[in-house]
Amino acid sequence: MDPKEFGHYLRTLRKAKRLTIDDLAAELGVSNAYISQIETGKRGIPSPELLKQFHLALDIAYEHLMEKAGYVELSSPPSQDLISLFKDNQTLYYKGIMLTPKQYQLLKDILEEFISSSKETKKENHQKED
């Protein structure tokens, strides 16, 4: 990801958290001009140390930011049944943003409904063939 794309990505994360540039700059201890330069790609990709501060301020996985910034390549995790994520009460992230308990439950409910309706559809289709 080039600096301009990465800056746009950080801007999207900041806005999703409803933070202004001034809010984020104050939290990171840098100037608002510096944040603006990062977001427009004029400052390059931030250092891993600064990404650690972004991770805390934006409540996003540090590993995710490091991967997006191009510092590391994360190997894809082994396949696993989604139910194990819910049974173990693992913290779930979507695009690096941690799901709230309400979002977590909603996702679980949606998956249950999706699988349930898929099974019913298959059963109905199978009965029509007979």
Q: CA 59, CA 17: separation in Å to the nearest integer?
A: 9
**Tens of pLDDT along 7-43?**
999 999 999 889 999 999 999 999 999 999 999 999 9
What sections of 59-100 are H helices per DSSP? 62-69, 82-87
**Looking at residue 56, what is its pLDDT?**
92
Task: Report residue 33 as tokens.
Answer: 């001009």
Assessment of whether the complete model's pTM goes beyond 0.85: no
**Looking at residue 64, what is its pLDDT?**
87
For residue 80, what pLDDT band results from cuts at 50, 70 and 90? low
**Looking at residue 19, what is its pLDDT?**
95
